Amino acid sequence: MNEPTLLVDVQDGVMALTLNRPDKLNAIDNGLARALLAAIARAESDDAVRVLLLRGTGRAFCAGRDLGAPPTEDDLTLVQAVAQALVSLPKPVVAAVHGWAVGAGLEWMLDADVVIAADSARFKLPEASLGVFVTGGLTATLPAAVGLARAKGLMLLGEPFHATQAQAWGLVWQVVADDALEASANQVCARLAQLEPAVAGRFKKVLNDVGLAHFQRAIEAENAAQRGLTPSSAPSVP
């Protein structure tokens, strides 16, 4: 029997969603994206869930789109739907990141509200070199975090960067030793779970309404750019 591509666990008000394709560095296929959408919807409807934790098994958080998976018309729709679901969820989302966070994996990370990164975390946006466009509302979230000039450099040059750079640039909240990542993420989740849900939800909504005022516009512009750039034979999302 095949292992599920997404592991779901709920304890003490925290729903942990663990990307579980370790042999692929948790690269995204449509099955994983659909499972994430279903889990986020479940988190939204379950009053017992106060916080969402997103993490990965194995050697990486998420290596982006699975370039070995046959491209389908649903690729772009699904990866964008997950981004929108994470941002619109009226509950805090924490991302615990280790190893590589590449392409759509990095983009989903930035859709979280609080990011804890391990020392081993490495980041890269290779889309321009692949001839495709970014997704996940990145054209809104990345400039909001690092400023327009640095966002352009990161997207166009696609150079890798490490966790301490990510923290200095405002992409992550905290950097910890690899062996402390799980405990640190759990501690942050526990603190968030103690907040009054209505208060936490209102803070998230207002901060996103102001700080990411153009998020939906970014999604729509990314969709148009992706469709205009992607060759019919290439994967839709890196």
Active site residues: 107, 127
**Number of residues that make up the chain:** 238
Strand-by-strand arrangement of the 93-97 sheet: 6-11, 14-19, 51-56, 93-97, 114-118, 174-176
Pairing of strands 122-124, 100-102: parallel
Measured CA distances, 45 to 38, 195, 210, 216 (Å):
11, 18, 25, 22
Is 25 in contact with 62 (CB distance < 8 Å)? yes
* CA nearest neighbour of 30 among 109, 226, 38: 38
Tokens of 170: 């405002």
Residue 221: phi and psi, rounded to 5, are: -65, -40
- The CA distance from 73 to 78, in Å, is 9
- Other CB atoms within 10 A of residue 223 CB: 15
| Residue 192 DSSP SS3 | helix
- The CA distance from 132 to 200, in Å, is 36
